[in-house]
Chains A and B, each alone.
Chain A
């Protein structure tokens, strides 16, 4: 590979990776829920769950976490005993943002998949993607009949799936 190609490709790769990495980090923090997760575990899970395809320089994980904390998407708590690691949790606001962005990204990935001749299918049995704003609504923990991001009334969509009470 010539240098120009390498430089261009690497710049483009980091542009693509930037948002995806942050969203993936949020996804891992979300998986740990109330237990929280420390930085090292996040980087480990990120590698394992993406089959070592989403590689970020591990040191750069901390500035990303700090920014997310500054933006009130996540909060942290330091262990009082032992290695005194910092554990990260999604805030209520962060959960809302994560669900929305996760839905947006999923729909986008499915939509653009034909461009690259690959198949991506949304898990429609598990989640409802709000038709008005793309927010991902977990059907297992359905609390209201409207989208908590845009307020769209989802009774019709639930009815179609036989979920309306």
Chain B
């Protein structure tokens, strides 16, 4: 093997390493330096292995062997991030953010579709509600699958969220991280200032207290119950119980204050199913307008008049949409608090 052939072997080996490197690394200027370091190492090794001190055919081939396969080298660069199931810990917040954004868009689109059909189409109310749930269910399942597959693939390649940011942003993030370490406080990436406390304890305690009181009232029902249908009163009690639990969780968050971010995340995660459990109650009420109190002269309870059924159900549909959207707020809070860990 002459000098040209030796150069060719080294070049081919380096080219193969480059081909196998993860995309996030190839996008960085640094990857050229990595390849140059590998080449430098390879020639030094070939010199050492050669009997004459000058690289020769045999020593170059041996040196390449010592370097390891290009796939193994690339695999090491992909081994980035702390494994957390199939999605790395570093990508997990972006994954949840992407899921909630996609979920929010799907729910909003389906609701808009429903409202449009409600006013323009001639489908029955039941068909529309059926369509709402089927649409949301299919959309969520499909988007969950796609988003999850994408993030598992990105985790396997060793991507970090900053790899999707511009060089300027990456530089800024690095500076902030250093500042964070020096000062020991989390720093806002946009404001370049320490992050504000993530909750207002007094607000949570007052809000939670009001919810708790309201829940107790609905549960104990200290009002003339003979004016209402028993089934409606039962729904009120269940709603009261859920409100009480939610209020208690808010008070707990207020008492904990701006400490123990993980506990806050758990509490937010508990509030989500509580909020969603109100939806079946609303669906029951939507299907039974005859039990909903409608006061009219001479102040005795009657169900919703048939001519108002559509409006009655439309109002409840909007309430369902609002509840679904407020659960997204809880998911957002879980992600936001992640920065304070």
Q: How many A-B residue pairs have CB under 8 A?
A: 52
Residues of B with C-beta under 8 A to A58: 41, 45, 66-68
Please, which residues of chain A bring their CB within 8 A of the CB of B181? 72
Q: Is A64 within 8 A of B76, CB to CB?
A: yes
Closest approach, in angstroms, between the C-beta of B329 and any C-beta of chain A? 34
Chain B 59-85 interface 0/1 with A at a Cβ cutoff of 8 Å (1 = within)? 000000011111011001101100000
Q: How far is the CB of B70 from chain A (nearest CB, A)?
A: 8
Chain A to chain B contacts (Cβ below 8 Å), 30 pairs:
A39-B41, A40-B40, A40-B41, A40-B44, A43-B41, A57-B66, A57-B68, A57-B69, A57-B73, A58-B45, A58-B66, A58-B67, A58-B68, A59-B17, A59-B38, A59-B67, A59-B70, A59-B72, A60-B68, A60-B72, A60-B73, A61-B41, A62-B38, A62-B73, A63-B73, A63-B77, A66-B34, A85-B37, A86-B33, A86-B37
Apart from A58-B66, A67-B79, what 14 extra A-B contacts exist at CB < 8 Å?
A40-B40, A40-B44, A44-B48, A58-B41, A59-B41, A59-B67, A59-B68, A59-B73, A60-B68, A60-B73, A63-B76, A63-B77, A85-B40, A86-B37
A53 within 8 A of B: no
Give 10 nearest A-B pairs by CB, closest first. Answer: A57-B68, A63-B76, A59-B67, A59-B73, A59-B68, A40-B44, A63-B77, A60-B76, A40-B41, A58-B67
Q: Are A57 and B37 in contact (CB under 8 A)?
A: no
User: Which residues of B (165-216) have their CB < 8 Å from a CB of A?
Assistant: 181
CA distance A63 to B21 in the complex (A): 11
Binding site for B on A (CB under 8 A): 39-40, 43-44, 57-64, 66-67, 72, 83, 85-86
Tell me the minimal C-beta distance from A62 to chain B in angstroms: 6
Q: How far is the CA of A62 from the CA of B74 in the complex (A)?
A: 10
Shortest B104–chain A CB gap in Å is 34
Task: For chain B, residues 13 to 50, give those with C-beta under 8 angstroms from any C-beta of chain A.
Answer: 17, 33-34, 37-38, 40-41, 44-45, 48
Residues of B within 8 A of A (CB): 17, 33-34, 37-38, 40-41, 44-45, 48, 66-70, 72-73, 76-77, 79-80, 181
Provide the residues of chain A in CB contact with B38, threshold 8 Å: 59, 62
Least CB distance from B150 to A in Å reads 24
Determine whether the beta carbon of B72 is less than 8 Å from that of A57: yes
A62-B37 CB under 8 A given contacts A40-B44, A67-B80: yes
Please tell me if the beta carbons of B76 and A39 are within 8 angstroms of each other in the complex.
no
Q: Which residues of chain B are near A57, meaning CB under 8 Å?
A: 66-69, 72-73
Give every chain B residue within 8 A of A86 (Cβ-Cβ): 33, 37
Residues in chain B near residue A39, CB distance under 8 A: 37, 41
Q: Which A residues are in CB contact (< 8 Å) with B48?
A: 44
A66 and B68 within 8 A (CB): no
Once bound together, how far apart are the Cα atoms of A62 and B17, in whole Å? 12
